[in-house]
Amino acid sequence: MVVRLKDIAAELGVSVVTVSRALRDRPDIAEETKAKILDRVKRLNYRPNLTARSLVTGRSSLIGLVVPDLIHPFFAEIAKGLSAKLREKDYFLIVSSSESDPQLEQDEIEHMLAHHLDCFVVASCQKEPDSLRKFGDAGVPLVLIDRSFPRFPCHFVGVDDYEVGELATEHLIAQGCKRIAHIRGPVTNVGNRRAEGYRAALEKHGMGAPENYVVACGEASDSDGETRGRRAMEEILALKPRPDGIFCFNDTVAVGAMDQAFEAGLKIPKHIAIVGCGNFHYSSKLQVPLTSVDQRSREIGERTAKMIMTLLEKPPSARPRTVILKPELIARESSRIK
């Protein structure tokens, strides 16, 4: 049997409004009355009807998060940071994965929109932002994370991907690498900016790189990133002259590249130095700990939560808010030549 507010009110001889105020910890309720109500609520295992509450308040207290990959540590850390900060304000997170499929992303968003969530956070795998314009049409705030679109004004929280590529490449140069390759990611704003940072660092030092020194791995998730890294490394090891340093799009790709190098009989970093991106927790457990660029994933989640609270508590602004975090290189044995 479902317990309702009016059932609790009738048992205690108080009004429904009094019960409601006690549950919201309002100061205008006597402590003795509040204690009786909370005790009865606990014993009856009362659960508030959030659907009914949302019809009255216009708020569901739910935030939607759609990411390309739930296994990927980067998005998992974002979800942790986001969820923890939202709970502090009595908001809760609903998480969904698009599996890097643009159509599935659209389907998931349509489903969540039908449930009238208060705000959406999306790491989009779309090539173009057209399908994301429906949030504006529905009057629901949208915050993009990790991936933005040049011609789509929107609230955004992410890391400076250009600097990610620049940091990784500068580090390899500082270690004495002369022929630096790049296993690049998908043709998205993230993949493009990291590749641009890589090229800019080389040009700055008058080095440059042949076109075949940039090998595409595609949309590398945790489920297939190591396989794609292995394949890309096969191409790199066949190059003449062979590169002596590699910047990989992410850590899973870097792990696959390292495994392939080991199988070829190479020593890391003696024969080839490797830098990844993500700074995932397993890095120190590898045969050779992986140098990686930390994308500040947990902080991305926390800053996104803060932005959401601002959007929900203040009048809407026509000007999109943007937070760009600075990445940090974490040097380990996979690149320490000097």
Q: State whether 124 and 184 are in the same domain.
A: no
The residue-averaged pLDDT of 63-74 equals 89
pLDDT, tens digit, for every residue of 197-208?
999 999 999 998
**SS3 for the chain, per residue?**
CCCCHHHHHHHHCCCHHHHHHHHCCCCCCCHHHHHHHHHHHHHCCCCCCHHHHHHHHCCCCEEEEEECCCCCHHHHHHHHHHHHHHHCCCCEEEEEECCCCHHHHHHHHHHHHHCCCCEEEECCCCCCCHHHHHHHHHCCCEEEECCCCCCCCCEEEEECHHHHHHHHHHHHHHCCCCCEEEEECCCCHHHHHHHHHHHHHHHHCCCCCCHHHEEECCCCCCCCHHHHHHHHHHHHHCCCCCCCEEEECCHHHHHHHHHHHHHCCCCCCCCCEEEEECCCHHHHHCCCCCEEEECCHHHHHHHHHHHHHHHHHCCCCCCCCEEEECCEEECCCCCCCC
Is residue 75 located within the same domain as residue 180?
Answer: no
pTM of the model: 0.81
Does position 163 have pLDDT exceeding 80, yes or no?
yes
Looking at the domain assignment, is residue 180 inside a domain? yes
Same domain, 269 and 291: yes
Residues 149 and 171 in one domain: no
Residue 146, pLDDT score: 92
Q: Are both 281 and 171 inside the same structural domain?
A: yes
Residue 1 has pLDDT above 60, yes or no: no
One domain, residues 275 and 201 = yes
**Domain span at 41:** 5-48
Same domain, yes or no, for 152 and 178? no
pLDDT tens-digit readout, 220-248: 555 688 999 999 999 999 999 999 999 99
Question: Is the domain of 230 the same as that of 245?
Answer: yes
Q: Is residue 210 situated within a structural domain?
A: yes
- Pair (197, 258) in one structural domain: yes
Asked if residue 247 belongs to a domain, the reply is yes
Using a pLDDT cut of 90, give the percent of the chain over it: 58
**Total domains present in the chain:** 3
